[in-house]
Amino acid sequence: MPLSGKLVQEIIARMEAEIEAVRWLVYYVSDLKTKRLPHAKEISSAKWLASELAVRVSAEAIRLHGAYGCTDDFPVVHHYRDAVLNTILGGTTEIHKLTIGRELLGINAMA
């Protein structure tokens, strides 16, 4: 079933809003780092959210393209593969969650 133009616009608007929110978190982390303030929790939050968002948005882009999204005719399938790899290469999401929890609770689950 083809997606209506209104539904496509809504999906793209949601993608943009979420990307902007994560972008501002990255700016905030950059500001903390520049000011030499503690930022371990914030950087792990930014990495975790950005990598999860990249996977979700690129998967949605594949869905919006339909069958063409799985071909090499459009770059969306490559973006999806890169996004999935980033969840592993940037530090697994589990490690980022542990870092955030440690910073919030003062408990080191790895010890």
The CATH class of the 5-105 domain is mainly alpha
User: What is the distance between the terminal CA atoms of the chain, rounded to a whole angstrom?
Assistant: 51
The 10s digit of each residue's pLDDT in 50-89 is 999 999 999 999 988 887 777 788 788 888 888 888 777 7
The 10s digit of each residue's pLDDT in 17-44 is 999 999 999 999 999 999 999 999 999 9
Evaluate whether 32 touches 39 at the Cβ level (below 8 Å): yes
Domain boundaries, the chain: 5-105
